[in-house]
Structure 1
Amino acid sequence: MEQPTFDTFYTLGGEAEALYKDKGSKFLAYGYPVTCEEEIKGRLDALRKRYYDATHHCYAWRLGPKGESFRANDDGEPSSTAGRPILGQMLSREVTDALIVVVRYFGGTKLGVPGLIEAYK
């Protein structure tokens, strides 16, 4: 008789949030365990409504035991400076079934490409 196989993976144990400040900019990070794209859309819509005056709402998500479904979004930041670093952190820790959103309030000083990548990761 063939033994059943079980997929194991890392995900978030619950909702999480963090704050990071750099040169006047404020980055509010939110992490959510998620199970489907509809739930992801709901979380993003809620954050956009709550932080309607923020400069950017950048995010990355992965779904599936091996993270086969994923997306990263820079929301107006220079290409690959926000969503890709967020996704990179999820990949490096093998986290899936999760959504990470970083809400940015621009502080008046440009961080440059390296500074943005560092801030978002």
Structure 2
Amino acid sequence: MPYTLAKPTQFIEEIKKSRFIVNAAPVVNPQQAGEFIDQISDPNATHNCWAWKIGQQYRFNDDGEPTSTAGRPILSAIEGQDCDQVVVVVTRYFGGIKLGTGGLIRAYGGSASHCLQQAELIELITRIPVEFHCYYSEWPIIENRLKELDAIIENHDFDAQGVNVSLAITEDKTAILQKNISDITRGRVIIQLP
């Protein structure tokens, strides 16, 4: 089961006189990840290397370090800790001793991994988006059933005919949801799942 961070976290480590400052945060989209990277990156640092993973999407950057010695190990640390919806920025202040490619891989990957190990993690629960329309008279009953099923109502708009509903529900409760909505609407509303 994948995890994300409960809140932003920081880890500082010194390796052969180079200072590595790791900042990690939960994110829900690439734009949020990019904003965090821009906010955390120190232009006075030697390198600001980063990686993020959101579902099947991921990106990483070596920021001037030799290819695949910084960004890729940070991404590997994210995956190794079974994290998702996470961005990690490792800021390095060079201390005068070169680490070599193996040393850089261990330093970036290790410090990112240590940061995620000490972070407070929360389990990610995968939810499926669902949309439907019902009559006004049906909405209060449906709304109560949605609460019983722990569905997250993301949006509901009222129009002349009734209510347009957008929600997210865990996969194990979709069959119950489909049956409830069909029963309440007497088969008029059939939920189509993605």
Instruction: Give the TM-score category using the shorter length.
Output: 0.7 to 0.9
Indicate whether 1:35 and 2:28 are aligned. Answer: yes
CA distance in 1 between partners of 2:65 and 2:104 (Å): 8
Return structure 1 stretches of 4+ with deviation > 6 angstroms.
Answer: none
Supply the distance in 1 between the matched residues of 2:75 and 2:33 (Cα, whole angstroms). 15
Q: Whose relative contact order is higher, 1 or 2, with alpha carbons under 8 Å and at least 6 apart?
A: 1
Task: Indicate the RMSD between aligned Cα atoms, in angstroms.
Answer: 1.0
Identity of aligned residues (%): 42
**Deviation for aligned residue 1:114:** 1.0
2:112 corresponds to which residue? none
Q: CA deviation at 1:9?
A: 2.6
1:60 aligns with 2:82: no
5+ residue gaps in structure 1? 1-7
Question: 1 or 2, which has the higher helix percentage?
Answer: 2
Paired residue for 1:83? Answer: 71
- Secondary structure at the counterpart of residue 11 of structure 1: strand
Q: Which has the larger radius of gyration?
A: 2
Residue of structure 2 equivalent to 1:13 = 6
Residue of structure 2 equivalent to 1:4: none
Aligned amino acid, residue 70 of structure 1:
Y
Match of 1:116 among 97, 100, 104: 104
Normalising by structure 1, what TM-score?
A: 0.86
1:5 alignment partner in structure 2: none
Q: CA deviation at 1:92?
A: 1.5
| Aligned partner letter, 2:100 | G
Q: Which residue of the other structure, out of 61, 76, 86, is the alignment partner of 1:98?
A: 86
Name stretches of at least 5 consecutive residues in structure 2 with no aligned partner: 110-194
Q: CA deviation at 1:104?
A: 0.5
Q: Partner amino acid for 1:110?
A: K
Number of matched residues? Answer: 109
Q: TM-score, normalised by structure 2?
A: 0.54
